[in-house]
Every structure is written in structure tokens, then in C-alpha cells.
Amino acid sequence: MTSSTDRSAPLVVRTPHELRRALADAGRTALVPTMGALHGGHQSLMRIARERADTVVVSIFVNPLQFGPNEDFDRYPRDLEGDTARCAQEGVDVVFAPETETMYPAGRPMVTIEAGEMGERLEGTSRPGHFTGVLTVVGKLFHLVRPDLAVFGEKDAQQIALIRRMVADLDFPVEIVGAPILRDPDGLASSSRNVYLSAAERTAALALSRSLEAARSAAGRGAAAARTAAAAVLEEAAGGEPPVEPDYLALIDPSTFAEVADDHRGDAVLALAARVGTTRLIDNTSIRF
């Protein structure tokens, strides 16, 4: 395997057989699961992986199972060449980029991993079946790569919480490492979907991070005040041009994703999702009350 200082191109493998061969003497292995369209946020995940393992594998697979019928599966950006170049910059050893038929040879699998109650809240309400798709593919990737650790971005707060639950509940022998949200200097959280935004939509989308900031500033006055402050920013943006259409804004308990009470004490996550034009964006922040 290449060492952490070698920045040569990663080996791109397409099948489980090629993957096993590539990982024959891998030593401690880190997996960064992605759907491609890699950006600086993904690169920060790769750097965390690089620091902690002998071999870094990045999987690139646009997983049809986690997209709803009216979502952006078909137009999701795909750029294996550009993605491989970004992986090379971070000293990634292996890129696993299977075809859909390789991952799901019989079409939709009959047996899937269900996320349970916590997976039905927030993102799960707006995107029914989404987390079944995510957990099923992540479970498959864990079996295929057999990593010692896997790195996920904290922007998808509910996703990483559910993956942690899956690993605990189903005894996957893998450590889950969270990577802090990477933001542009103006506050916009890095996302593969940001490429869909026009200049005006991108400016409007800053309301998401402003809303989180407003909640953090109001946190000293309690959970209800934080929730109200965040909602006020989104309400104003809903009347802007282009409008920001909120999907949900929730102040939740990080272990259950259920709403916290107005007098909550302790840790909480303010999570929100909104649509700007045709683009759906999510963001979150941790707040301690």
C-alpha cells in the first residue's frame, strides 16, 4: 500500500473481487463512503482517515436506494475523473466505484436495514425510505471493505447518528468517526448539491447558517428562545427573492432526534432543511443549554 506521503493516483477498483485483492495487505483500513461529486468537505474527511489508518479507501457510489422517486438521482453530479484527482490530493489509496448492477445484482434487495423510529423523524419524514437506503448501502460497504474505521460528515447529523446506532445494535466491528461541518467563509455548509445553486440562490441559502447562528446567540435565554430566533431568520428568508422554503426546523435530542422541551437542559442539535429553487439543503449545529 502507498504511504501517507505518497500523493500518486489511487487505484480505482470496480468490483468486490478487485477490492479484496487491493486490500490484501492493507493493515489498518479507513473507509470514507461518498456518492462522489467530491468537494472540500469530503477532502477533510479523507484527511481524518489518512491520519488514522495505513490504507484509506474512498467509495464512490450514487446509491439509488436512498433517493425517492421525485428526487435528484438522475441529475446527481457524477465526475469520477475529478473525484479521483481530489482523492489523489489527499493520498487516498483505493477508490471503490462500483456500478449499480454490482451493488444490487438482483435489483432492489429483498432484505434491507431499517432505521426504526429515529429514522422516521425529520429527514425520514420528508424522504420516506431514505435511511433504509443509506443504512443498507453502508452495511454492504462495511462488509465489502471491512474497515477498522469509517469517517462521515456531521452535516448529515441524523445519518451519522443512525449509522452509530446500526453499528451498536448490529455489532459491526467498525469505529465511526465524525468530521466537523466544513463551511465557506460566508457560512454556507459544503455540499455536493451546492453546484445546483445559481448565484442568487446561493446568497439566499446563507439564511440556513444565519438561522443556526441566531439560535446559538439566543441559547443563553433557553431552548424556546433559540428555536424562535432561528425560525425568525428562516421566516424572513421565506419572503425573500428567491424564497427559502423551509422544510423543517427542529431542536432535538441528539440521541433520539425527538424535539426537546422548551426548558431543556444539556445537549441539543438544531437541525434544519430548506429548499432554495429546486435544491434541498440541510444544516445543523450543536447547542448546549
Site for ligand PAF, rule CB under 6 A:
33-35, 63, 66, 134, 137-138, 156, 159
**In the complex, least distance from residue 235 CB atom to ligand PAF, rounded to whole angstroms:** 29
User: Sign (positive/negative) of CA torsion 122, 126, 132, 133?
Assistant: negative
- Cβ-based burial of 208 (10 A; exposed 0-12, middle 13-18, buried ≥19): buried
* Under 8 Å between Cβ of 140 and 65: no
Of 2 and 132, nearer to ligand PAF (C-beta) is 132
Q: Choosing from 17, 39, 42, 130, which is the catalytic residue?
A: 42
Closest approach of ligand PAF to the CB of residue 65, in Å: 8
Nearest approach, Cβ of 60 to ligand PAF (angstroms)? Answer: 9
The dihedral over CA atoms of 90, 154, 248, 242, expressed in degrees to the nearest 10, equals -30
Q: How far is the CB of 159 from ligand PAF (least distance, A)?
A: 6
Nearest distance from residue 21's CB to ligand PAF, in Å?
A: 23
Instruction: Considering the complex, state which of residue 154 and residue 237 has its C-beta at the smaller distance from ligand PAF.
Output: 154
Burial class (CB in 10 A: 0-12, 13-18, 19+), 248: middle
User: What are 246's three cell numbers?
Assistant: 423551509
Alpha-carbon distance of 187 to 242, in angstroms, equals 18
Q: Mark whether 42 is an active-site residue.
A: yes
**Number of residues that this document lists for the chain:** 289
Report, in Å, the least distance between residue 42 CB and ligand PAF: 8
Burial of 43 (0-12, 13-18, 19+ CB in 10 A): middle
Which strands form 267-276's sheet, in the order they lie side by side?
Answer: 244-252, 267-276, 279-288
Residue 143, exposed/middle/buried by CB under 10 A (0-12, 13-18, 19+)?
exposed
Q: Which three cell numbers stand for residue 106?
A: 438482483
DSSP for 190-227 reads P-GGGGG--HHHHHHHHHHHHHHHHHHHHGGG-HHHHH
| Dist. CA 223–CA 221, nearest whole Å | 7
Residue listed under C-alpha cell 468537505: 41
Active site residues per annotation: 42
